[in-house]
Amino acid sequence: MQLNTLNEKLKYVKEVLEVPYHFFQEFHGDKMFVVHFQNKEGKKYKFVGTTMFNAVEEGEEYAKEEVRHRRREEPNFIKKRKEEEKNKK
């Protein structure tokens, strides 16, 4: 399933990891944008990139790995989209 927009990618990562997110602009070597995902219990995920989009893509790849290895469930909006595509065929 291809996620095209920044909003779709953020929603995917947020729902897979079950945490809200925050953007920060920090410097980490040559990387400048950081997206933090953290829940109320303090569980944290941090992804960095040269652009905001790159940082979110790093989070997306991590979330997809979690789903692929069955450590997390795929978000409902993706399940629904796949079901709709299946029904079109």
Please compute the mean of the pLDDT values over residues 15-23 and round it to a whole number: 85
Please compute the mean of the pLDDT values over residues 48-67 and round it to a whole number: 91
- Residue 1 in domain: no
What's the pLDDT at 62?
Answer: 95
2 vs 77, residue with greater confidence? 77
| Count: domains in the chain | 1
- Residue 88 in domain: no
- Residue 41 in domain: yes
Whether residue 55 is predicted with pLDDT greater than 80 in this model: the reply is yes
- Residue 86 in domain: no
Question: In the numeric block, which tokens belong to residue 39?
Answer: 């829940």
Range of the domain at 40: 6-81
Whether residue 25 is predicted with pLDDT greater than 70 in this model: the reply is yes
- Residue 29 in domain: yes
- Residue 58 in domain: yes
Task: CATH number of the domain at 55, please.
Answer: 3.30.160
What's the pLDDT at 50?
Answer: 86
Please compute the mean of the pLDDT values over residues 17-23 and round it to a whole number: 83
Backbone angles phi, psi at 66, to 5 degrees: -60, -45
Could you tell me the pTM of the whole model?
A: 0.79
The DSSP output letter for 75 is P
